[in-house]
Amino acid sequence: MKLFVVPTPIGNLEDMTLRAIRVLKEADLILAEDTRTSGFLLKHFEIKTPMQSHHKFNEHKTVENVVQRIKNGQTIALISDAGTPAISDPGFLMVRQCVENGIEVECLPGATAFVPALVASGLPNDRFCFEGFLPQKKGRQTKIKELSTEKRTMIFYESPFRLLKTLTQLSEIFGCERKASVSREISKIFEETKRGTLQELVQYFTEHNPKGEIVLIVAGLEE
């Protein structure tokens, strides 16, 4: 059998694909990052497949067992709380272990936060690099300095509590005139994208307290 990697909505439940619903209904087991969070999703779409917890604190322990279950003929679906598993979420270890054991892995296309944010930013998207979350403490300044000469458009995930700090640090190292875009609450009721220079965004979010999940897009260094 195989492992299905199934993206789930990042906010709006209408972004769930018909195929994703079918795969989750037909699977023998669903591996969920948080079974309580995913419980609401499964209930909404009347999916009665049993769930098992699979998150960054226990994935090292669960992968062997899951691989064995698939080898024994089960079909298993992997989901995260929102978006595509393994993109700044648990999933990579499971996929790698399946690949190394000759198990077929199929990843469904679907919701992920950074693509809509990148497209809506208005910044060049022919070449880009995904950086996920910056290090919170150790290596943070070093990483930002490394990226200051990156020519491709950069994509970051950030929490509302650290956004202002990140924008300020980027402004200091990249230069305050570097263009950027902040998208929050993508696909939800209060979805918002603010565009401008890093300095303008620092000013805006000093006056407006950011809330919700955030994707930060920063222009690359112009040659």
Q: Is the Cβ–Cβ distance between 38 and 85 less than 8 Å?
A: no
Tell me: pLDDT of 56 over 80: no
Which of 66, 87, 107 terminates a domain? The answer is: 107
Last residue of one domain, picked from the residues 57, 84, 107: 107
Same domain for 100 and 136, yes or no, is: no
Q: Quote the domain boundaries for residue 98.
A: 2-107
Average pLDDT value for residue range 70-87? 96
Residues 23 and 85 in one domain: yes
Statement: residue 55 has pLDDT above 90: no
**Same domain flag for 65 and 147:** no
Angle between helices 163-174 and 140-147 (to 10 degrees): 50
Mark whether 23 and 55 lie in a shared domain.
yes
Q: 21: phi > 0 → left, psi -120 to 50 → alpha, else beta; which? A: alpha
Percent over 70 (pLDDT), the chain? 100
> CA 221 to CA 223: how far, in whole Å?
6
pLDDT at 89 over 90: no
Question: Are residues 130 and 203 located together in one domain of the fold?
Answer: yes
Total domains in the chain come to 2
CATH code, 162 = 3.30.950.10
pLDDT confidence band for 134 (50 / 70 / 90)? very high
Rg (CA), the chain: 19
Task: Please report whether residue 223 resides in a domain.
Answer: no
Which token pair is 191? 């979805």
| pLDDT tens profile 147-199 | 999 999 999 999 999 999 999 999 999 999 999 999 999 999 999 999 999 99
Give the residue from 116, 118, 120, 165 showing the smallest Cα distance to 140. 165
**pLDDT, mean over the chain:** 95
Which domain-ending residue is among 81, 107, 133? 107
Mean per-residue pLDDT, 78-91: 93
30-47 per-position pLDDT tens digit: 999 999 999 999 999 999
Same domain for 75 and 100, yes or no, is: yes
**Arithmetic mean of pLDDT, 91-109:** 96
Same domain, 21 and 102: yes
Which pLDDT band holds residue 62 (cuts at 50, 70, 90)? confident
State whether 121 and 145 are in the same domain. Answer: yes
Q: What is the DSSP string of 143-194?
A: HHHHHTT--SEEEEEE-TTTHHHHHHHHHHHH-TT-EEEEEESTTSTT-EEE
pLDDT at 61: 80
Domain check: are 135 and 83 in the same one?
no
Lowest mean pLDDT among 26-30, 42-46, 55-59, 103-107: 55-59
